[in-house]
Structure 1
Amino acid sequence: MKHFFLALLFTGSLSTASWAQIKNNPESNHGNKFEQLGTIIQDPNMYRSASGAPGPRYWQQRADYDIDVELDDQKQRIAGSETVTYYNNSPDPLSYIWLQLDENEHNPKSDNQKFDESSMKEKMSIADVQAIMGHNQDLGVKIEKLTDGSGKALKYTINQTMLRMELPKTLKPGERFKFKVNWNYNISDRMTIAGRGGYEYFAEDGNYLYTISQWYPRLAVYSDFQGWQNKQFTGRGEFALTFGNFKVNITTPADHVVGATGECQNYSKMLTSAQLKRWNQSKNATSPVEIVTLDEVKDMMKVKSTKKKTWTYVATNVRDFAFVSSRRIVWDAMGTNVEGKKVMAMSYYGPEAYPLYNRYSTKVVAHTLKSYSKHSIAYPYPVAISVEAANGMEYPMICFNYGRAEKDGTYSEATKYGMIGVIIHEVGHNFFPMIVNSDERQWTWMDEGLNTFLQYLAEQEWDNNYPSQRGPAHKIVDYMRLPKDQLEPIMTNSENIVRFGPNAYAKPATALNVLRETIMGRELFDYAFKQYAKRWAFKHPTPADLFRTMEDASAVDLDWFWRGWFFGIDPVDIAISDVKYYRLDTKNPEVENLEAKAARERTEYNIGRERNRQEGTKFAVEQDTSLQDFYNKWDRFAVTPATRSAFNEYYAGLTPEEKALYDTKTNFYEVDFANVGGLVAPLILEWTYVDGTKEIERISPYIWRKNENKITKVFAKAKEVKSIKLDPFRETADIEENNNSWPTEYAPSKFELFKQKTAPRGSSTGANPMQQNRQSPNQVKQ
């Protein structure tokens, strides 16, 4: 077809983005972002297959623990003895074993007490000053005895939070080794010293709440991909641990209530007859039943028992063990059906948390188990516990969270949603990394990021209006637009991250949400993600195993996505830099002559001519008509028989296909897009037509594969376009929305936005409306 197109040009700015991460073809505008990951992740082998599944010779170690521990409520001290059976399932002979002594992070001589920067401020809090001065408390693990199974002393070396135990003889593949450890340590005040475990003292009633975690010498992981994971625990990067079975006898004051990993074996001895009856009722209850009631707790808080009792807990195939002990905790429970299995959802909480936890906690636990099971694997354990402890930390079957009301029983909306969110998050850790057992010490995002993503799904399934702060794409843009010296790739070791929360929690959660909603779609993503969880349940996955599985189970090439989101720091910023409008030359004089006339009038228009007409100027050719000739009377735009005949002949000569195209009267829009930010993304376009209708069009990110900086795409539209908008649903995390529209749409300045902004749902600022309502004479009963 030899058709002429008439173009209307709209100009726009264009700039190029820099790509500073892992370039395969650094001097080119392509061949970098879409290359495969083979050069930057470990090769597949017999232990880990190219599909992302465990290989035919996959192995992992095992450690079983038999522990006796006593909690001294007078001295705030832990003393314990353990017998450990270690199974060498690796193909390697071992001459020593590494144990973790995580409580040594609190030792004042530990490196982590000094290696962070500090500076003086005009106003310093006590916490600021104490952080600079450090402490001289007697904290850290004291090893009393370390022997083999026969009682013979073993040589060992302690390097801060790691203990290397020398074996009396090489532990060959397939062999096991039994040893015994006696130890003790002073429990730290986690409200002042910080840390995951410790105690909290309540001066008003003189009682303690103990959250005991990282409390026993435990095996480090020995794996096929790195050997011993014996990187020091500095307080940030969490735990790589070995699966095994536990039997733990916990001795406490007789009036303490204990909740722990696993199932209690002696409730009949630990509980009163009334409490035991409530426990049995709770197994089939549809709402939480208080096994230990608030009234009972208030009585126990008044008189402290001098007697002791021992709780026995057993847990199978877990990677860790933690417990809570106090005389000031209410305990409620409810049997919950999770994928056809009965699970006891339970909560432990003090009087100050009662208004929130009694209403929400156990039901949130049950909701979390159901949501996570739906999106990953069915929850395999018999118990899931939420403990209110003014902090947030997770262990198998038990986690510590916050959520306290005001003294009058009211609470803010921020406290409510903050509590629900942290319970979902910490209970969710049962799946990642307690079951899908990634190395948190090295890759925090495989733990926190994946869990935060599933937390987002669970929050949105809890309440359609839930104010989720991590997960929605547009909420990560403030982080991704920061200067490059404040950013690092997600694939960064825990201790080296500047902005830990956004990097290890929010960005990977956002990336997975973008992957699910925008890149893969829910059906493909959900199937592949469940495959990853199934493949690596109770095993030790690496990032490469996740990357490979997601592709293997979906047939979606995602290497470009992992490169950009996980190995890079560039943001998404796609701009509409230029739009040209083309329309088919109809050659129909009835149409073209009218348009030519309108175009000439626009071209010849000038203000002087217009004002002469308005003033009634007497033109010479009108005063003396003899000056007018053929051209003064000729209508150059009139349709003549000759031009009409020529058009009819032209149209008759078109093929049926050409006539079909001609008759559609299609509009063509040539749009230039610029990759300003550097991170490639799909093009999601909202077309608004002159008639007011809209259309959403989605184009694969692969459109960038031949030119990663700028592209041009022509769109054929039956209707005339009024405007174009990129990323209309804010689903790609585009950091600059002012260049997403044609014609350009300008947002108010930041100052104007600040004036217009209202406090977001779930905001922690402002007053407590519930409290104000109770103080009002027209209060509504809660």
Structure 2
Amino acid sequence: MKKLTLLLLVPAFVLAQEKTTPILPKQQGKYDTNKFSQMYDLLATPNMFRTASGAPGPAYYQQQADYKIDVELDDKNSKLSGSETVTYYNNSPDNLEYLWVQLDQNQAAKTSQTPLAENEKLEPVLPADKFANEYLKAGLDRGFNIEYVKDAKGNPVSYTINQTMMRINLATPMKPGDKYSFSVKWWYNINNYKQDGGRSGYELFEKEGNKLYVIAQFYPRMAVYNDVEGWQNMQFWGGGEFALPFGNFDVNITVPADHVMEATGELMNRSQVFTPEQVKRYELAQKSFDKPVVIVTQAEAEAAEKGFSNQKKTWKFSARNVRDFGIATSRKFIYDAMAVQLGGKVVMAASVYPKEANPLWGETSTRTVAHTLKSYSSHTFDYPYPKAVSVSAEDQGMEYPMICWNFGRPDENGVTTPQVKNGMMGVVIHEVGHNFFPMIVNSDERQWTWMDEGLNSFMEFMAEQELGTNYPSRRGPPKNIVPYMSGDQKFLEPIMSNSEGIIQFGNNAYGKPATGLNILRETIMGRELFDHAFKVYANRWKFKHPTPEDFFRTMEDASAFDLDWFFRGWFYSTDFVDIGIADVKQYYVTDTPTTELKNTKVRKGRFGEDKGPFVYLVSEKNAELNPAAKKALKIEDFKTLSDYVNEKLTAEEKATLKKPSYFYEVEFNKPGGMLMPILVEITYEDGSTENFKYPAQIWRKNNDTAKKVYATEKIIKKIQIDPKLETADIDVTNNVWPKEEVKSKFD
């Protein structure tokens, strides 16, 4: 019996699918190279500090900065004054001639360069208050006023201030293993953040004259020194957030006696600042795992906000192994909390908010905090800190270790729309989630916004979906990033761009990274491989300082998945996804060759030619094809096939034979520059469907087109690419065969 060979004839006609042409310019992206080349040209060379696997190396080190801080709030004048002692540990192998300290409040100083570096546009219509703030008010200087810098013996220390950075000029360089202590005394005017902007400040409630303070970047903070760039002393322009070393904080905060406060760290004098009844309520909250317990009631808060105490009270907080410190204080605060079991420990979820935030906050905030801690912990590591606090601060969304400010309140009648509630829950999840990225997995926000905002937005998306309420997530679903990725290339930049050079900040640093990670998890790698690798990254770099290279390498190292093509395209370029169906051809089987096929030579492996007999696949449109041959294939109708089946196959093989009757060759094209798997759904004439997934490597030898053959038992009625919108394909009009008419917005 001769070997059976199938021949495919390229027909002169196609089956009712016009060739598609790219609707966008072929040139795209701001980084063009071999799409599948490895990323040796982009990643830093591995070394003893950071290994090729993405893990910390044997020589990895990080500095430590411990703080003892005393601050006092002047509520009447909205002024904060304080003094601090910093003990800095040089764990690096380098001699340090000076230390760099961040003075972030100077971004709001009279001499700030930030306003000078921003473009301005005259608004022809302005509300009176905005016009006054813009053109009439002189405004206070809100930068740091440094009264002194002294060494451990009380002697003055030389220092130099360059905008938002202060250099401590050491008399003797710090050697490896040395520690150095210095103290700073300072004060500044607190901003009304609703008028003046800023990541912290106060909110004024005009009816009763009370203020709600959310205080951060309030003290001179040590900059990071590491193996990647030495001192991270880039100026704070307002966009790129903060790079900070870990350390231990002991902070005493003096405020009016009628204030209620929350802050980073554990409260060390609860019985002195709360009433005995409030202490008992807190102890109940420590055992309440199903619902929050109100510790400071709305009635107590309303009573406090009617008077302005002239007495003072000092709150003492202690925090271990944190990178920063935040404070929220007001006489308006209601306070509730509940317990969360995480692994072998109990963590407190808590919220503080004014009466204006109820009933939404009392019903929703702390429960959302608890859900966030559980969700994030399940995907990374058990939350290690003793608490997480959500603070109601309208028009804010900002994070610090163990505490964050979040917007979203009912209207004046206490009515909450679904949009407000969902927005409030989303920002609580996002800001509480920042405890993991970057407060613990401590990336450099001044350099790479996406490493905290993008990873955290992805984690937020998973936590939102795990609510089980069909939460309408903004960032994460691939279809939501399409308008951005299909936009004008002049206004796009790669994700791997410095924070200050990003035009569309939310889409670039939040939305696109979150979407990319979602696509990796759901479409490219699969949940099991992705989740393991992501958890390995989080655990390798918790309480350390990772770089983008550490993330990229770990995701490959822990999954055995070559992702260089994905990271190169999605993170280092502005390429977009666009995959279409260019051509569909149908074939029939026959024993009789057409004129074109009669003299076709068929290779037989590495040696010579195959002599047949042959089975021929001929296009439906071929003029020589006998109309009678256009029927469903049956093996017994073709001698060459029936002979092969009867004489060559075993009974077991015969029992499992497929019986294809229809043959299609589908050509896919790729007008977009971004590589992506091809997801295909085939609908048959009887309404049944079948799905196929081809890995991105299908494009490795031809960046423009790819072909697949389908041998089916049923007639194909429809072929569709990416039917569930999983790949952020920017043009779905070329995704369907036969081509469908797209309804206009008018229709």
- Give the alignment of 1:374-413 within 5 angstroms: 374-390=378-394, 391-413=396-418
Alignment partner of 2:372: what SS?
Answer: helix
Residue 568 of structure 1 corresponds to which residue in structure 2? Answer: 573
Distance in 2, Cα, partners of 1:478 & 1:719: 38
The amino acid of 2:379's aligned partner reads H
Residue 712 of structure 2 corresponds to which residue in structure 1? Answer: 717
Alignment partner of 1:750: what SS?
Answer: coil
The amino acid of 1:89's aligned partner reads N
Residue 297 of structure 2 corresponds to which residue in structure 1? Answer: 293
- Give the alignment of 1:258-337 within 5 angstroms: 258-285=261-288, 286-337=290-341
Output one character per residue of 1:132-156: Cα deviation in whole Å (capped at 9) or x when no partner.
7885422100001101000110111
Output one character per residue of 1:528-561: Cα deviation in whole Å (capped at 9) or x when no partner.
0000000000000000000000000000000000
Output one character per residue of 1:428-485: Cα deviation in whole Å (capped at 9) or x when no partner.
0000000000000100000100000000000011134101111001110011000100
Output one character per residue of 1:106-148: Cα deviation in whole Å (capped at 9) or x when no partner.
1132111221112224434454784578854221000011010
Contact 1:108 1:134 in 2 (8 A): no
The amino acid of 2:713's aligned partner reads A
| Larger displacement relative to structure 2 (9-18 or 369-378) | 9-18
Query: What is the CA-CA distance between 1:745 and the residue it aligns to?
Result: 1.7
Residue 91 of structure 1 corresponds to which residue in structure 2? Answer: 93
Contact 1:47 1:54 in 2 (8 A): yes
Contact 2:44 2:549 in 1 (8 A): yes
Contact 2:660 2:711 in 1 (8 A): no
Query: What is the CA-CA distance between 1:519 and the residue it aligns to?
Result: 0.5
Query: Quick one: structure 1 residues 653 and 61, their matched pair in 2 at CA, closer, same or farther if it must change by over 3 Å?
Result: closer
Query: Quick one: structure 1 residues 157 and 648, their matched pair in 2 at CA, closer, same or farther if it must change by over 3 Å?
Result: closer
Structure number with higher helix proportion: 1
Asked whether 1:440 is paired with 2:445, we answer yes
Distance in 1, Cα, partners of 2:704 & 2:214: 53
Asked whether 1:684 is paired with 2:673, we answer no
Contact 1:5 1:583 in 2 (8 A): no
Distance in 2, Cα, partners of 1:510 & 1:235: 25
The amino acid of 1:253's aligned partner reads P
Query: Quick one: structure 1 residues 139 and 689, their matched pair in 2 at CA, closer, same or farther if it must change by over 3 Å?
Result: same
Alignment partner of 2:683: what SS?
Answer: strand
Query: What is the CA-CA distance between 1:673 and the residue it aligns to?
Result: 1.3
- Give the alignment of 1:141-156 within 5 angstroms: 141-156=144-159
Residue 620 of structure 1 corresponds to which residue in structure 2? Answer: none
Residue 648 of structure 2 corresponds to which residue in structure 1? Answer: 656
Query: What is the CA-CA distance between 1:63 and the residue it aligns to?
Result: 0.2
Select which of 193, 198, 203 maps to 1:200. Answer: 203
Alignment partner of 2:105: what SS?
Answer: helix
**Scaled by the length of structure 1, what TM-score is found?**
0.86
Residue 243 of structure 1 corresponds to which residue in structure 2? Answer: 246
Distance in 1, Cα, partners of 2:746 & 2:105: 48
Asked whether 1:17 is paired with 2:12, we answer no
Aligned-CA RMSD value: 2.6
Residue 766 of structure 1 corresponds to which residue in structure 2? Answer: none
Identity %: 51
Asked whether 1:234 is paired with 2:237, we answer yes
Distance in 2, Cα, partners of 1:395 & 1:166: 29
Residue 598 of structure 2 corresponds to which residue in structure 1? Answer: none
The amino acid of 1:154's aligned partner reads V
Distance in 1, Cα, partners of 2:433 & 2:94: 34
Select which of 105, 109, 112 maps to 2:111. Answer: 109
Residue 349 of structure 1 corresponds to which residue in structure 2? Answer: 353
- Give the alignment of 1:327-726 within 5 angstroms: 327-390=331-394, 391-585=396-590, 651-652=642-643, 656=648, 664-726=659-721
Contact 1:472 1:510 in 2 (8 A): yes
Query: Quick one: structure 1 residues 337 and 12, their matched pair in 2 at CA, closer, same or farther if it must change by over 3 Å?
Result: same
Structure 2: gaps (5+ residues): 594-616, 630-634
Distance in 2, Cα, partners of 1:139 & 1:291: 35
Select which of 72, 75, 90 maps to 1:73. Answer: 75
Distance in 1, Cα, partners of 2:736 & 2:174: 67
Structure 1: gaps (5+ residues): 25-31, 589-594, 605-634, 639-643, 753-782
Distance in 1, Cα, partners of 2:658 & 2:701: 34
Query: Quick one: structure 1 residues 690 and 75, their matched pair in 2 at CA, closer, same or farther if it must change by over 3 Å?
Result: same
Contact 1:3 1:585 in 2 (8 A): no
Residue 762 of structure 1 corresponds to which residue in structure 2? Answer: none
Distance in 2, Cα, partners of 1:649 & 1:280: 85
| Larger displacement relative to structure 2 (705-714 or 555-564) | 705-714
Distance in 1, Cα, partners of 2:636 & 2:558: 62
Query: Quick one: structure 1 residues 133 and 432, their matched pair in 2 at CA, closer, same or farther if it must change by over 3 Å?
Result: farther
Distance in 1, Cα, partners of 2:513 & 2:546: 17
Asked whether 1:179 is paired with 2:182, we answer yes
Output one character per residue of 1:82-118: Cα deviation in whole Å (capped at 9) or x when no partner.
0110000001100100000111111132111221112
Distance in 1, Cα, partners of 2:176 & 2:703: 50
Distance in 2, Cα, partners of 1:42 & 1:585: 59
Query: Quick one: structure 1 residues 430 and 3, their matched pair in 2 at CA, closer, same or farther if it must change by over 3 Å?
Result: closer
| Larger displacement relative to structure 2 (126-135 or 165-174) | 126-135
Alignment partner of 2:350: what SS?
Answer: strand
Distance in 2, Cα, partners of 1:668 & 1:645: 18
| Larger displacement relative to structure 2 (733-742 or 455-464) | 455-464
Residue 64 of structure 2 corresponds to which residue in structure 1? Answer: 62
Query: Quick one: structure 1 residues 599 and 519, their matched pair in 2 at CA, closer, same or farther if it must change by over 3 Å?
Result: closer
Distance in 1, Cα, partners of 2:97 & 2:246: 21
- Give the alignment of 1:154-173 within 5 angstroms: 154-173=157-176
Query: Quick one: structure 1 residues 669 and 133, their matched pair in 2 at CA, closer, same or farther if it must change by over 3 Å?
Result: farther
Asked whether 1:214 is paired with 2:214, we answer no
The amino acid of 1:239's aligned partner reads F
- Moved segments of 4+, more than 4 Å: 2-8, 128-135, 635-638, 644-651, 657-663
Distance in 2, Cα, partners of 1:254 & 1:646: 97
Query: What is the CA-CA distance between 1:681 and the residue it aligns to?
Result: 0.6
Residue 601 of structure 2 corresponds to which residue in structure 1? Answer: none
Query: What is the CA-CA distance between 1:5 and the residue it aligns to?
Result: 5.3
Residue 641 of structure 1 corresponds to which residue in structure 2? Answer: none
The amino acid of 1:552's aligned partner reads D
| Larger displacement relative to structure 2 (134-143 or 327-336) | 134-143
Distance in 1, Cα, partners of 2:522 & 2:628: 54
Count of equivalent residues: 702
Distance in 2, Cα, partners of 1:132 & 1:235: 22
Output one character per residue of 1:629-648: Cα deviation in whole Å (capped at 9) or x when no partner.
xxxxxx9989xxxxx99965
Query: Quick one: structure 1 residues 306 and 461, their matched pair in 2 at CA, closer, same or farther if it must change by over 3 Å?
Result: same
Distance in 2, Cα, partners of 1:646 & 1:308: 99
Query: Quick one: structure 1 residues 373 and 648, their matched pair in 2 at CA, closer, same or farther if it must change by over 3 Å?
Result: closer
The amino acid of 1:722's aligned partner reads K
Query: What is the CA-CA distance between 1:165 and the residue it aligns to?
Result: 0.7
Query: Quick one: structure 1 residues 86 and 670, their matched pair in 2 at CA, closer, same or farther if it must change by over 3 Å?
Result: same
Query: Quick one: structure 1 residues 133 and 224, their matched pair in 2 at CA, closer, same or farther if it must change by over 3 Å?
Result: farther
